[in-house]
Amino acid sequence: MKNQTALEVHNLTASYQRKPVLWEIDFKVPSGHLIGILGPNGSGKTTLLRNIMNLMEADSGYVKIFGKDLDEVRSRLSYVPQRESVDWNFPASVREVVEMGRYRPGNLLRRLKSSDKQKVKASLEKVGMLAYADRQISELSGGQQQRVFIARSLAQEADIYLMDEPFVGVDAATEEAILSILSGLRDEGKTVLIVHHDLQSAYQYFDWMILLNTRLIAAGPKEAVFNSTHLREAYGGKLNLLSKLGEIIAREQFPLREPDFKEKEGSGDE
């Protein structure tokens, strides 16, 4: 149901080697939105997703999904990690990777039904990768690999989709195709959270935003979050590197990348 609370993060603090990366993060996200998680490099964007998925232990606080703990609703979440964090040499075909989205805890050994295979086929068609179904995943380009992971996520038929930098390393056509698919999920009432680094496209892409810099700067509809006060608070002096700040805030001229963004990043310390 649209505007039902899909995700609640309460008083979340998380650290690496005792250094806080997230500090007392507190927000709620309604369902049925396409949400951008924004902030400078090292601001805790990836760490936030990892804590939502319980891939690391928080120092304090909790996360609720549809009012429940993750283990009670895990099948309703789909997670696409950074491409750099995946072992692409694992011997699996494109079809086999997408089929993983049809398994659930407790049925990992069952045979896929014809309906499962149809869903896998439909998901590959959506991302334009059906012709590569029998290709080894390691043989694909970076953009193609990203499409396959999106297809696996679609095959899962989740209610919340968490995606960490899904547009890194893909061409403009692929980015547009993926965005169209994700917007369609939003229109179906699904909730999509995307870690994103491109301020130029952020306002265009998302209807909701979460702005981080270790602590929460703002979370809410994009019109309320994307303003000069919040951007200065999040990016600090880094915004001084950008000319014509007024035009930036007027959404006429955004930086193509965050000033300190590196495409090779993926070290997991965000």
Q: Provide the pLDDT confidence category of residue 221 given band limits of 50, 70 and 90.
A: very high
Residue 60's domain is classified under what CATH number?
3.40.50.300
Between β-strands 215-221 and 208-213, what pairing exists: parallel, antiparallel or unpaired?
antiparallel
CA dist., res. 194 & res. 37, Å (int): 6
Mean pLDDT over residues 175-203, rounded?
91
Is 262 inside any structural domain? Answer: no
Task: Assign 192 to helix, strand or coil.
Answer: strand
Is 100 inside any structural domain? Answer: no
CA dist., res. 234 & res. 212, Å (int): 6
Looking at per-residue confidence, does 53 or 236 come out higher?
53
Statement: residue 248 has pLDDT above 80: no
CA dist., res. 63 & res. 52, Å (int): 6
CA dist., res. 2 & res. 203, Å (int): 21
Is 204 inside any structural domain? Answer: yes
Q: For 137-152, write each residue's pLDDT tens digit.
A: 989 988 888 889 899 9
Which residues span the domain enclosing 170?
5-88+157-249
Statement: residue 222 has pLDDT above 80: yes
* Residue-level pLDDT at 198: 84
Statement: residue 267 has pLDDT above 90: no
* Residue-level pLDDT at 256: 39
Q: What is the DSSP letter of 102?
A: G
Q: Provide the pLDDT confidence category of residue 107 given band limits of 50, 70 and 90.
A: low
* Residue-level pLDDT at 177: 86
Q: How many structural domains is the chain composed of?
A: 1
pTM score of the predicted model: 0.83
* Residue-level pLDDT at 238: 61
Statement: residue 83 has pLDDT above 90: no
- Averaged pLDDT score across all residues of the chain: 84
Statement: residue 263 has pLDDT above 60: no
What would the two tokens of residue 223 be?
């019109």
Is 134 inside any structural domain? Answer: no
Is 94 inside any structural domain? Answer: no
* Residue-level pLDDT at 266: 40
Is 265 inside any structural domain? Answer: no
Percentage of the residues of the chain whose pLDDT score is greater than 70: 83
What would the two tokens of residue 262 be?
């590196």
Q: For 184-195, write each residue's pLDDT tens digit.
A: 999 999 999 999
Is 258 inside any structural domain? Answer: no
CA dist., res. 141 & res. 123, Å (int): 19
What would the two tokens of residue 115 be?
């309906």
Distances from the Cα of 166 to the Cα of 35, 52, 104, angstroms = 13, 17, 23
Decide: 148 and 129 in contact? Cβ < 8 Å. Answer: yes
CA dist., res. 152 & res. 157, Å (int): 9
Amino acid at 187: D
Q: For 108-143, write each residue's pLDDT tens digit.
A: 556 888 999 999 999 999 999 999 999 999 899 888
Statement: residue 259 has pLDDT above 70: no
Statement: residue 254 has pLDDT above 60: no
CA dist., res. 44 & res. 47, Å (int): 5
Looking at per-residue confidence, does 250 or 158 come out higher?
158
Is 93 inside any structural domain? Answer: no
